[in-house]
Structure 1
Amino acid sequence: MMKSALLIIDVQNGMFTEGKEVYRGKTLLDKISNLITKARATDTQIIYVQHNAPAGRPLETGTVGWEIHSHIFPQVEDVIIQKSTPDSFHHTSLEEELKLRNIGHLYITGIQTEVCVDTTCRRAFSMGYKVILISDSHSTWDSEEITAQQIMNHHNNVLRWFAEVLPSDEVDFHL
């Protein structure tokens, strides 16, 4: 039987810088924290994806901004994957970790909706994983053209081609 994993992408301190905080940051952290609690109660694997950015960027490797946000900080049994591109699978150990643990279902959360969340969702689908995008547990920033909420709504709609899209209160890790 295939197992499930909660995938938390790029929820790092640098995404919550005052004045440049990701849209609805506190709500996002609370929703992901609640999902972590539900996942732990069902022995669902929790996997953090941590972006490694070059010097001078908000997620510069080894800086405070690069660290996983303390509101959702990992425990010893959690897996942390390091990446340097929007694709959580590209040149990372994610696929190896999923196979090692017999994980076939991915519940995807995190930042940034239209970049890393979108890319990872599509890639996971193409690799044969059952993907569940948690519609209220990913976020982004306003662009010059549209709001963060519009970007999130658009991606929740488009990514239905690649994932089942559910709000966090409908997530059941017993699948």
Structure 2
Amino acid sequence: MKNTALIIIDVQNGMFLEENPVFKWEKIILNLKQLIDNARINKIPIFYIQHNAPIGSILERGSEAWEIRPEVTPAPTDIIIQKTTPDSFHNTNLYAELKHQNIEHLVLTGIQSEVCVDTTCRKAFSLGFAITLVTDAHSTWNTSELSAQQIINHHNQVLRWFAETKETEDILFKNEVSIQ
């Protein structure tokens, strides 16, 4: 089995605001907690990607909205990568950290399906990583044209060109990506 890492993109308080929380947020948090627990038991490295938005934006660095969601708080051994664009690799040390740990396979989760998750998945593929997109552990919001569920379904379908797609339970209970 290839050396694996769990990647959690932009699961920050600002994505869960009471007036407009990310679609199916309770289920996303539950699935992420299961993946995190399973990764820790199996000594899989966990990388949190934290978006830093400009001053005055919802994810402004240092604000409460910028903080990682408390239900999925990083452990001291987890790595937090700061980013400023949808691409988790662009102008960050993510690639260097993954290479340092000999990681070849990424289990991808997070927010926002059509922006940061999509961009990071495609870039990881271009960089030569094997990828598993966890189809029920990424999310977004409705738009005026499409429902959040339609966007998620579309990206689960399109990103199959770049990643294997699995649900949380298939990763957890079959241990297909849990052992390095």
Same fold per TM (> 0.5)?
A: yes
Residue 31 of structure 1 corresponds to which residue in structure 2?
A: 31
- TM-score normalised over the length of structure 1: 0.98
Residue 104 of structure 1 corresponds to which residue in structure 2?
A: 104
20-29 or 109-118: bigger deviation? 20-29
Residue 135 of structure 2 corresponds to which residue in structure 1?
A: 135
Partner SS state of residue 65, structure 2 = helix
Partner SS state of residue 121, structure 2 = helix
Q: 1:23-68 CA deviation, whole Å, 9 max, x = no partner? A: 0111101100110000001000000000000122111111000000
Q: How does 1:155-174 map to 2 (within 5 A)?
A: 155-171=155-171, 172=175, 173-174=178-179
How many positions carry a matched residue from both structures? Answer: 175
Gaps of 5+ in 2: none
For 2:14 and 2:57, how far apart are their aligned partners in 1? 9
For 1:167 and 1:31, how far apart are their aligned partners in 2? 9
Runs (4+) off by over 2 Å: none
- TM-score normalised over the length of structure 2: 0.95
Letter paired with 1:8: I
Residue 115 of structure 1 corresponds to which residue in structure 2?
A: 115
Gaps of 5+ in 1: none
- Taking only aligned residues, the RMSD between alpha carbons, in angstroms, comes to 0.9
For 1:58 and 1:106, how far apart are their aligned partners in 2? 28
Residue 10 of structure 2 corresponds to which residue in structure 1?
A: 10
1:20 aligns to 2:20 (yes or no): yes
The structural deviation recorded for 1:106 is 0.1
Partner SS state of residue 65, structure 1 = coil
